[in-house]
Amino acid sequence: MKPVISTNKLSVSFETDHQKTMAVNAISFEVFAHEIVGIVGESGSGKSITSLALMGLLPPNALVNGELFLGDESLKNKSEKTWRKIRGKQMAMIFQEPMSSLNPSLTCGFQVKEMILQHQNLSDSEAKKRVLELFEQVKLPRVSTLYNQYPHQISGGQKQRVMIAMAIANNPKLLIADEPTTALDVTVQQTIIELLKELQAQNGMSILFISHDLTLISEIAQRVLVMKDGEIVEQGTVAEVFKNPKHPYTQALINSKPKLNERLKILPTVQNFLNNDFLAETLTKENRKKRHELLYAQPPLLQVKNLKKYFTIDKGWFQKADLIKAVDAVSLDIYEGETVGLAGESGCGKTTLGRTILNLEQPTSGKIFYKGIDITQLKPKDWIVLRKEIQIIFQDPYASLNPRITIGDAILEPMKVHKILLSNKERKAAVISLLEKVGLNETHYSRYPHEFSGGQRQRIGIARAIALHPKLIICDESVSALDVSVQAQVLNLLNQLKEEFQFTYLFISHDLAVVKYMADQMVVMHQGKIVEKGEADMLYRHPQNEYTQKLINAIPKGI
C-alpha cells in the first residue's frame, strides 16, 4: 500500500545572525490511507515544525533538505500557487489555538464558505448549504444561528469544531491536527477526540495527530512517533510504545503525568528519567491522615459563605436581559497550610469564584471571611494592605507580564509598592534569590518576557506571587497549557515552595488528575454551584455526583 504522505530524511533548519539552528533532523516516516498516526514530544521537539513543513507553511528563512511526498508526487520546491491548490483540498490542518486562526472580523459561516468556494465550483447558496451540513456533521448546536456568529461569540470547544469543519470542507486526504485539544476541558477534549475518529471513519481520510501528551495520543492513534530535539527517537504501534517503551525519553513522557491510582510525593520529570536519578516516594494513607489531623485542628484561614456573583447580559431594547449565575450560593472553607483543588469545566464559575475572593469582582451577595474578618466589607485602602496576603498565579503568564518591563523589575515593583525591604538594592538581591528558588538565575533578571519559554514564564509568575510573602495563593489554571514534563516541574515547585513557606493554595483546574495530585480537599463546581466536595483521593475513588463521575470518566487513561 502506498502512503498518503511520506518523508525521507526530512530536515528543517533556520539561519539567524549567521547562526544555524536545526529544528528537524533527518526524519523519515509515512502515513497510510485510513490511518491515524500520532506525533508526541515536548515543545521544541520539532513536531509542529514538521507539520508546517508538510503544509508548506514554513517561514522564508527555513532551509529544507530531504524528500517530502504526497502520494507519488514530490512536494519539494513547489511554488506558492501550487501549495494553495494543495492546502485545504488534499491536505488540511487544525491549529492549536482556534481564536488566533479564525478571523475575528468575519462570521464563522463565511470563513468556512470561503474555503469551499476557493476549491469547489459551487454557487454561493450551494456553498452555504454545504457549510450548514458541515456544522451539523461536527455536531455544532443551532447551526443557522452559529453561521452568522463571530468567533468571540462562541465557546472554545465550538471554535475548535468550526476549525474542524473548515479543515474537512473539501474532503482532504490528510488532516493534520496540531495540539487541537490543549487547554480544553477533559470533557470537551473527549468529544473532540471522538469527533475526529468518527469523521475519519466517515470520510476515509488519514490523520496526523500532534500532542505533548502520550496518554491522549493512545486514545486516538494506531501508530505513534516520539520526537526529541528534532529527531524520531522511537516509533511503533501505540500498544508497543505505551506498554513497552524502549527509549528513556518515552518512559519519561509516560511517567511525568500524575498517576490516578497512587499519590507520589514528587512527580518524576523528563530530566529525572534521562539522568536515572528518580526514586518514587508514595504519600501513604497514614501520612495523609496525620497531615489532615494537623490541618483541621484550627479555624479556617478563609471562609466563603453563601457567595453569589450574578452577571446581567443586556440584549438590547424591548428584550429582557439574561441573568448569568456565575457563582450561585457557594460555601467553602480553606484551612492554613492545605491545598484545596477546585475542578470543573470552563464556565462552571471556578475562575469567577477566585476573582471574587480577590475582590477583582464584587459579590452580588454573601460573605468572605479571611482570618475571621469579612473582607467583602473592606474599603479600598484596606484591600491594598490585604493584597500582600492573598496573591494569584494566572493561567497565561505572558498576558499578565508587561512586555516592556524586564522580569526582574516586574517582580521588584510590587515589593516596592508594599515597602518590603528598605532599598531597591536589597529588593534586587531578594528578587535574584527568588529567581533561583524557582529554577532561574541572576542572568534572567534583565531579560524580557518574550525571551522565555512558557514554563519559564510560569516560574516568573510564581516568583512574583511569592515575592510579597502571602498566606493564600490562588493558582488559576496555572499549568493547563504546559507540556506534561514542564507541568511536572511546576507542580513540584509549587509543592516545594508550599513546604518551605507554609503557603495555602486554592488550586483551580479543569484537569482532575492534576487536582487530585495537588489537593488535600477537592471541590467540584458545575453551573455556578458546588456539586461535590471531600478528601481528594476518596472523592476520586468514590464520586457520588453524576457530573463528577462524568469528569473522571473523561480523563485519558491510556492503554
- Parse the chain into domains and list their residue ranges: 3-90+172-255, 103-169, 285-389+470-553
Q: What is the sign of the dihedral through the CA atoms of 424, 426, 429 and 430?
A: negative
Q: How far apart are CA 456 and CA 449, in angstroms?
A: 9
SS3 55: coil
For the chain, what is the radius of gyration of the CA atoms?
Answer: 25
Please state, in angstroms and as integers, the Cα–Cα distance from residue 432 to each residue in 93, 439, 443, following that order: 43, 11, 9
Beta carbons of 470 and 504 less than 8 angstroms apart: no
SS3 242: helix
Per-residue pLDDT of the chain (559 residues), as tens digits, is 789 999 999 999 988 777 788 999 999 999 999 999 999 988 888 998 999 999 999 888 889 999 999 998 998 888 888 998 898 889 999 887 776 788 989 999 999 999 999 889 899 999 999 999 999 888 888 888 889 988 888 877 788 889 899 988 888 999 999 888 876 778 888 888 898 898 898 888 999 999 888 888 998 999 999 999 999 999 999 999 988 999 988 988 888 778 777 777 787 777 777 777 666 566 566 666 666 666 777 899 999 999 999 988 665 666 676 788 889 999 999 999 999 999 988 778 898 999 999 999 999 999 999 999 999 999 888 888 898 999 999 877 777 889 899 999 999 999 999 989 999 999 999 999 999 988 888 999 999 988 887 778 888 999 999 999 999 999 988 887 777 778 888 888 899 999 888 999 999 988 888 888 899 999 999 999 999 999 998 899 999 999 999 988 888 877 7
- Is this structure's pTM higher than 0.85? no
234: which 3 cell numbers?
522511537
CB neighbours of residue 59 within 10 Å: 7
**Residue 63: strand pairing partners:** 13
Q: How far apart are CA 509 and CA 505, in angstroms?
A: 12
Please state, in angstroms and as integers, the Cα–Cα distance from residue 557 to each residue in 161, 177, 371, following that order: 24, 21, 40
> 3-90+172-255 with 285-389+470-553: one CATH topology?
yes
Q: How far apart are CA 270 and CA 275, in angstroms?
A: 9
β-pair type (231-237, 504-509): unpaired
The reply to whether CATH 3.40.140.10 applies to domain 3-90+172-255 is no
Q: Under 8 Å CB-to-CB from 164, ≥6 apart: which residues?
A: 94, 138, 180, 192, 195, 196, 199
Q: Which CATH homologous superfamily contains domain 285-389+470-553? A: P-loop containing nucleotide triphosphate hydrolases (3.40.50.300)
Q: Which of 7, 75, 102, 17 has its CA nearest to residue 46?
A: 7
